[in-house]
A and B are shown apart, each in its own frame.
Chain A
């Protein structure tokens, strides 16, 4: 199997505070993890690609200083929303790539998502 977990599943925070979201691959090692943001009734929007041991690659329009990504091990990537504001309220989903990338067996497995509400 391939299980990806996220913690917390739901977080409510005050405006101006920082929130850290963890993404873990529980039964496989993931060199590459992805972070997505999803607004209600919309598709997934890729925010950044996280590679273990190196800096994350951010998509155009995503502020790297606001959304800090750390991929310190092969099973854990974290997304920190710094100085959160109400417009950052969203559903954040991570995924982990099972495989080294570039092979036919690579599949992306998703976490259950984290709902962030900024008051």
Chain B
């Protein structure tokens, strides 16, 4: 699958505030979801994942919420820091990892 976005949505937050990045997915059969962070000029970095039998999962400063009813995924970053500035992608897959489909990405800018 492929996902192409011509205009990256941008989210600007003040340092120290919480950030919420949203992602709508299309395949109701997707059963595994991952959030990736990509800094400029680098490859995507795994942040957190969630299975379809869960609706919430927490990591260090990050929380992923999954709403299967409306096919919506969100990434919450607590106490956003300048180092969190990056593009964030959600990815969905069916059958746990055979074919990943990426969302268009959201650029997070952290303001001082």
Contact = CB atoms under 8 A, between A and B. Distances in A.
Interface of A: 4, 6, 34, 39, 41-46, 49, 59, 91, 93, 95, 97, 99, 101-104, 106-113, 115
Contacts, number: 81
Given A43-B4, A110-B44, 4 more contacts: A41-B6, A42-B105, A97-B97, A101-B96
A110 B36 contact: yes
A6 B43 CA distance: 10
A111 B43 contact: yes
A107 B46 CA distance: 9
Interface residues on B, range: 20 to 34
**In terms of DSSP, what is the predominant structure of the interface of chain B?**
loop
Nearest to A47: B2
B102 A43 contact: yes
B98 A112 contact: no
B98 A110 contact: no
Contact of A103 (B6, B97, B99): B97
A6 B41 CA distance: 13
Given A59-B2, A111-B43, A113-B41, A43 B104 contact: yes
Interface in B70-112: 89, 91, 95-100, 102-105
A108 B103 contact: no
Contacts of B61: none
A42 B44 contact: no
B100 A34 contact: yes
A2 B32 CA distance: 19
Contact of A42 (B5, B41, B42): B5
Contacts of A59: 1-2
B1 A101 contact: no
A49 B8 CA distance: 26
Given A43-B89, A44-B44, A44-B102, A108 B97 contact: yes
